[in-house]
Amino acid sequence: MDRAMKSSNAIRSWEITSETNYLNRRQFLRETGLVAGAGIASVVLPGRLLADVRDLETVPGPYSTDEKPNSWQDITTYNNFYEFGTGKEDPYQNAQAFVTRPWTVKVSGECDQPGDYHYEDIVSPHTLEDRVYRHRCVEAWSMVVPWVGFPLGDLLKRFSPNSDAKYVRFKTLYDPKQMPGQRRRVLNWPYVEGLTIHEAMHPLTLMVVGIYGRTLPNQNGAPLRLVMPWKYGFKGIKSIVEIEFTRRQPRNSWQISAPREYGFYANVNPEVDHPRWSQARERRIGGGLFAAKQPTLMFNGYADQVAQLYAGLDLRKHF
């Protein structure tokens, strides 16, 4: 991926799909196997998952990479979502019966509009547009995902955070009956994540509601998840039920469980190794078993957009 990302003035619909397919979305979805049809559903989306994955009306987002996105199969069957198991295939196998409606998000802390908000309040077509953003997700492996969502900051402003709101804390649903991974003490459940208020308000930070023009599948964090493309994947908290504006820096779940290995910021910095492996190179999912690794880019290639957020910080110390 080029280090310089496209500006909002340069983005065009054909950078998300071809122009023809964008104007004829349902035909495009059928051709790519994303709408159930004869001989398609059993291959792409088994069983009950079909009932929960619906079309979204989408328009191009202001940031994107020109890299080819991974397939629906790659994106929906190879995931980290420990609430459904620690194996990469576990979320796909264990999340199909997960109930995501009705869904409520509790908003609290340093804001003037706290309360319990329904999914329909948060994803309102009258106040927010669903947009397609094609970003790279990176851990020790990477993939390109055409996310559907909107800038998190657009949502947070509606809750009127006050001047004491320095950080934003997020919490995942805790429901061991539905989430079998929570029956094991892999982490201190429920999962918690945090951002600085400036990170949260950055236009690259997304509240995601779908992929490939369809509502977010259960295994990918339905119905609401975060995506910050310049950070390692564990920052992308899934199935969010709480948003809290705080004065002090919250400790995320991985900091609590393994503070030597996982810091608060989790910015992609190939110059800082994880204590147990190098982060200088990554392997693209979908390239085959023997696919060559490629260099990991600083801030995952988004340095021009986000480096100013960390001016004055030692990024080897604040990892």
Establish if 261 belongs to a structural domain: yes
Domain assignment present for residue 144? The answer is yes
Residue 112 located in a structural domain: yes
Question: Residue ranges of the alpha helices (H) in the chain?
Answer: 19-23, 25-31, 41-44, 49-52, 72-77, 90-94, 119-122, 152-156, 197-201, 253-257, 303-306
Residue 218 lies in a domain: yes
In the chain, the number of structural domains is 1
43-94 tens-digit pLDDT: 222 223 333 556 776 666 677 777 889 999 999 999 999 999 999 999 999 9
Q: Do residues 274 and 265 make contact, with C-beta atoms less than 8 angstroms apart? A: no
Dihedral angle, C-alpha 3, 9, 13, 17, nearest 10 °? 0
Pair type for strands 141-151 and 281-284: parallel
- Position 240 in a domain: yes
Query: How far apart are the C-alpha atoms of 235 and 238, rounded to whole Å?
Result: 9
pLDDT at position 213: 87
Percent helix, strand and coil across the chain, each rounded to 5? Answer: 25, 25, 50
**Within a domain: 62:** yes
Distance CA 273, CA 261 (A): 9
Question: Cα(226)–Cα(201) distance, rounded to whole angstroms?
Answer: 12
Q: How far is CA 307 from CA 24, 69, 213, 236, 297, in A?
A: 38, 25, 30, 19, 13
Establish if 169 belongs to a structural domain. yes
Omega prior to 223 cis, within 30 of 0:
yes
Q: pLDDT by residue (tens digit) across 100-109?
A: 999 999 999 9
List, for residues 108-131, the tens digit of each pLDDT value. 999 999 999 999 988 865 444 556
Cβ–Cβ under 8 Å, residues 168 and 200: yes
Please state whether beta strands 131-138 and 192-196 pair in parallel, antiparallel, or not at all (unpaired): unpaired
pLDDT exceeds cutoff 70 at 138: no
Q: Which range of residues forms the domain containing residue 92?
A: 13-310
- Give the predicted TM-score (pTM) of the model: 0.82
Q: What is the CATH number for 217? A: 3.90.420.10
Bridge partners, 226 (sequence order): 207
Q: Does any domain span residue 4?
A: no
Q: Who's near 132: CB < 8 A, 6+ residues apart?
A: 16, 58, 59, 60, 61, 64, 146, 147, 148, 213
